[in-house]
Structure 1
């Protein structure tokens, strides 16, 4: 018989551990679903021994350093400036870089609780310390709530108060609130790598040097044989030995031992490559056949892994900021803390600006200062070219005078002699202005003036023609003002 039930509230969860047939939820503690921990019958503390492996430890430091190298800062957003300044001051006292390093333990173990200690200072309730605590001290209940295992509640754990523990996790889900541990993926490569090293050392010790073979007559006694054996041992360790007169010693090299040694080396290098893939996303440093293309692809994967770790840190820090604002300014908007790669952003912006500039965009010095951080005085102001800073004869045609003037304006003003240029251009200015003034005086209206200017300076490009017309219209306006003033009298 099939039965159906309806949920009392449309928004309530229907599939929960309390209602589902889940034998893992029969108790008050939800076991860690990590299959390796189930097989070993231990907790995440076993992964600390894995983290002490030299290669794993180096990968961990490299991974954390990539995140810590990012720039970070607080964005006010929609929060009030007073709140943003207070939060920034609080974060400055907490040493956020150290907190980020502790948060980055979460990808290693799956989850990393951090205890927040609060204290009232200067009228504000603020966190005075954020300290990471061992993950194995904590567990989750069927409601996915964090619990602390104590002497009073060693099995079920104690439910923790609100705003007391930050809980950064990697890929946590409803089914697995403990998150995914990267060190669990390194367990067997580390174990097999250690075993390969042990067999490799034994092989090197046994077959790395030549065998000393001693020969005695068949009639030799056991005491004589033992004496020769002791002498051979001294020969291997000290390089000297004594043998009977009727005995002999021969050093024998093992054939094919290098090929056997390569097997152990390949096993160790394979395990190290697996660890590198798990921890850094690439094994290019382990592969002898890597090339430039594969190295670039590996760098892209490592960058994606860095950004993923940074998102975990950013989420945890912003949760702390949200708590600070809720405790001191309930209901107010909180500023946002973020991390970014400034060099990467500058490169992308420079490429975009280069494409825009090729498309015809013109940028001001204010844009360069705002976008790239230049200071006042770093950029030279670009002076606009004058209307007609040209040299031409008084009898030249109007278009020739203007063309020569604008051609001279293209010269570098730093290399030109400023005084000579000013004095030499005076004649051209007078000639140009006289020509335009004559046209203005003879024109009946602005339409006629425009037609006259177009006929005289039509060979100029559009930009230069616009400047000439602007000067003519300005002269016409001044002439009209002068005529009105003359008619009005003193």
Structure 2
């Protein structure tokens, strides 16, 4: 009977029945040390980036690209888009004490600078950040998070980060996981260095720089008219050099002195416009490639784009911005996890640092809610929180109907004593009260009959009384309540008499 299992090596077979008892299930099988692919000599794992391998350099070659106006401008744009997001701590399952502790600690940090340094990770692939710890009462927290140059660090064959220390030699110094966190973009086992976006800008930026140089030379050569001097055939070299000096001075100062038997002719460089367009097209192509690499689109930066294409391009950039924000959040959450582990224990849930885009408030919805509120609608706190993304504590407790000064007289406390009021009611004709009540309530009744639900009824009431403010509406409702109360008293009295 064949056993069901797995060959973990050419000479070792582990059956599924023994898998639970095996102690090697959490160990790597396919590793660099066991691979025969070659190229893994020493502890240093070279950066597999093809640009760096071809140039034989480290990522400092990418830092030079930021001096380019186009690349540097796109870098600033990407960082600014992340910094413009809303950000803060979400408690989640963390205890309130832990959430307050982390929030107070983050308040003392220069988060704008820290986020800018963490955003170098998408540019260079990885960005090590050193944690500078300090005691705070009975606790221990990082005083600052400092981004260190990525070229100072490398990964070994086990994908562990190492510092290029002078004392450690070629093997480097293994990093302390409590002292460093690493922000990375698209890091894998095969490439722990991550993917640098600036690698996509290297050749376009290089060709753009070279093309601009040749374009300048072309402009200097063909942009100005040619000044041609003619001298007699029997002139010697000295006379020829003197004429050339005079022509050179003429180009600079537009004044020249030449012999009377010599002539000067000015010729425009015609027919070179097509050659100039070749350089222009090269530069525009390189610009487009850099914009696509950094922003995901080239519509918002090209002169021939329209509003629709620019809007579509901006939506693509939003995805890249959210990816950059995710890298920042992951690095900060790793740091928060270390702080919670050292101060409260590894089994305590940690709050999460998040970045999000502020949602725009629907003006139509806000105007409708304003009109309904002014008409007397009382929305619940749950509605305000759900509709306008409010949090607990943002809304003040609304006064109850019994505490409201406008409706405190809803039961219509008589200004006179009860006996005088009863006498006044007895002296009023029932027909007069009924006529006044019908005239006052007619607009309201008509609006309620036309409405299909409560919201539409309040809207119709606002249309029926466009000039009435909330105070007038409250007074009108109080009068109606008084009439209804009085009519009820008369009806009850008539019933008793009958």
TM-score (norm 1): 0.78
* Structure 1: gaps (5+ residues): 443-490
- Mapped pair 1:335 → 2:371: no
Deviation at 1:166, TM superposition (A): 0.8
Decide whether aligned partners of structure 1 residues 123 and 293 sit closer, same or farther in structure 2, where only a CA change above 3 A counts.
same
Alpha-carbon distance between aligned partners in 1 of 2:207 and 2:112, rounded to the nearest angstrom: 35
Alpha-carbon distance between aligned partners in 2 of 1:173 and 1:422, rounded to the nearest angstrom: 72
Alpha-carbon distance between aligned partners in 2 of 1:422 and 1:351, rounded to the nearest angstrom: 29
Deviation at 1:332, TM superposition (A): 1.4
Q: Secondary structure of 1:24's partner?
A: coil
Alpha-carbon distance between aligned partners in 2 of 1:428 and 1:393, rounded to the nearest angstrom: 15
CA offset digits 1:198-251 (Å, max 9, x no partner) = 001101111111000111121222211111111111111111111110111111
Q: RMSD value over aligned CA atoms?
A: 3.7
* Structure 2: gaps (5+ residues): 1-8, 15-21, 413-427, 446-460
Q: Secondary structure of 1:167's partner?
A: strand
Alpha-carbon distance between aligned partners in 2 of 1:397 and 1:4, rounded to the nearest angstrom: 105
Q: Secondary structure of 2:143's partner?
A: strand
Structure 2 residue corresponding to 1:56, chosen from 66, 71, 74: 71
Structure 2 residue corresponding to 1:194, chosen from 209, 219, 234: 209
Alpha-carbon distance between aligned partners in 2 of 1:160 and 1:332, rounded to the nearest angstrom: 25
Decide whether aligned partners of structure 1 residues 420 and 372 sit closer, same or farther in structure 2, where only a CA change above 3 A counts.
closer
Question: Is the contact between residue 300 and residue 314 of structure 2 (CA under 8 Å) also seen in structure 1?
Answer: no
Question: Is the contact between residue 381 and residue 395 of structure 2 (CA under 8 Å) also seen in structure 1?
Answer: no
Decide whether aligned partners of structure 1 residues 424 and 298 sit closer, same or farther in structure 2, where only a CA change above 3 A counts.
closer
Deviation at 1:165, TM superposition (A): 0.8
Structure 1 residue corresponding to 2:45, chosen from 30, 33, 36: 30
Q: Which residue of 2 aligns with 1:453?
A: none
Q: Which residue of 2 aligns with 1:395?
A: 431
Decide whether aligned partners of structure 1 residues 422 and 183 sit closer, same or farther in structure 2, where only a CA change above 3 A counts.
closer
Q: How does 1:2-401 map to 2 (within 5 A)?
A: 3=10, 5-6=12-13, 8=22, 9-330=24-345, 331-342=347-358, 345-347=359-361, 364=379, 366-367=381-382, 370=385, 371=388, 394-395=430-431
Decide whether aligned partners of structure 1 residues 364 and 419 sit closer, same or farther in structure 2, where only a CA change above 3 A counts.
closer
Alpha-carbon distance between aligned partners in 2 of 1:238 and 1:306, rounded to the nearest angstrom: 54
Q: Which residue of 2 aligns with 1:452?
A: none
Question: Is the contact between residue 394 and residue 428 of structure 1 (CA under 8 Å) also seen in structure 2?
Answer: no
Deviation at 1:280, TM superposition (A): 1.3
Q: Secondary structure of 1:227's partner?
A: helix
Q: Secondary structure of 2:183's partner?
A: coil
Structure 1 residue corresponding to 2:487, chosen from 411, 423, 431: 431
Alpha-carbon distance between aligned partners in 1 of 2:141 and 2:248, rounded to the nearest angstrom: 71
Alpha-carbon distance between aligned partners in 2 of 1:283 and 1:266, rounded to the nearest angstrom: 15
Deviation at 1:45, TM superposition (A): 1.0
Aligned residues: 432
Q: Which residue of 2 aligns with 1:407?
A: 443
Moved over 6 A (4+): 348-355, 381-388, 396-400, 417-425, 439-442
Question: Is the contact between residue 70 and residue 340 of structure 1 (CA under 8 Å) also seen in structure 2?
Answer: yes
Q: Which residue of 2 aligns with 1:459?
A: none
Q: Secondary structure of 1:59's partner?
A: helix
Question: Is the contact between residue 321 and residue 334 of structure 1 (CA under 8 Å) also seen in structure 2?
Answer: yes
Alpha-carbon distance between aligned partners in 2 of 1:387 and 1:395, rounded to the nearest angstrom: 23
